Amino acid sequence: MINSIITGTGMYIPDFILNNEMLSQIIDTSDEWITSHTGIKERRLEQRKYNYEMLGEASRTALKNAGLNPEDIDMILISTCVPDYNYPSTACFVQNYIGAVNAASFDITAACAGFAFILDTADVYIKSGKAKNILIASGEITHRLADYSDRSNCILFGDGAGAVVLSACESDEKQGILSSYIKCENDGRKLMTIYSKSYEPAEIFDAETKIFKSGAEKINNSFITQNGREVYQFVVRILPQMLEEVTSRIGIGIADLDYIILHQANKRILDYLIKKYDLDPAKVPINIEKYGNISSATVPVLLHELNMAGKLKKGDLIMLAGFGAGLAYGAAVIKW
């Protein structure tokens, strides 16, 4: 039996801190309001590095943690909403940055659920025998997408990157990724959208003049737009469904989990989960107060923090789960 096990974790968090008091100087808000509505006290913003460099630093830490060299990596999968370039893929830039000369590299975009999607994809490659060591990483510079005149959105987002090394392990005992689940709901763009490069489709050929045109019309707003209330309703509806589906596949209940590492979108969602299943709050770790919503990077960043703190013990059952625009969502249960 080939298992996909996590052999290394890593993260990169920028130095610059944007706290709630600083935000209150540019928009009509306050530390009390932001904290009570989101649980966020501060977020980090990257000022000097490209996204691929953040991802590269997180990846180097994960490789060191795994005891592997860049040449040992067969594949690199990157999740990001904020690529530095349209092409090549961000994964190719990360590959060059860390010197992983033997890797195939590509990106997967699934917004805040991105880490769940690259984890699921990597698991398939490893269990099929097509790869032995896969580096997966999520990195976001979300402040590039935030409208700092929109107080409902700009208070949420921060920057950072997290990485994991998945390795093949042959064993008679089931370990590593025990179960995974990814899904998307139709027509989610109504709730959360960012236009690409501020353009929308338009005719490229004028039949009367027989002249080609630019083929696109400018859109003024290319920032994150979302219906926060509807997104929250979506999350509290699909979250139990997702968690119960991925645990039932391996014959366990949510109460059997040692940790649920959930996408850090809003503390209210985390509190909802704790209350619904009457969980020990220690089982649902939170770091949103320090970093805000780092989109797809929140899960691997929190996983690395727990790993470095020595809180993850051999045999622990850990849920990793994310949700976001699409509307996309996914989860996995791993045996540490």
Residues annotated as catalytic are 112, 263, 293
CA distance 154 to 144: 10
**Dist. CA 272–CA 89, nearest whole Å:** 37
Give dist(CA 79, CA 322) in Å, integer: 12
Q: Which of 277, 264, 271 is nearest to 305 (CA)?
A: 264
Apex 50 CA angle, 46 and 51, nearest 5: 85
Question: Residue 136 has which token pair?
Answer: 């997966």
Both tokens of 262, joined, read 């959930």
> Do residues 99 and 68 touch, judged by C-beta distance below 8 A?
no
CA distance 279 to 260: 10
Measured between alpha carbons, how far is 274 from 120 in angstroms, rounded to an integer? Answer: 25
- Nearest residue to 158 via CA among 334, 12, 332, 318: 12
Please say whether the beta carbons of 78 and 178 come within 8 A.
no
DSSP character at residue 92: H
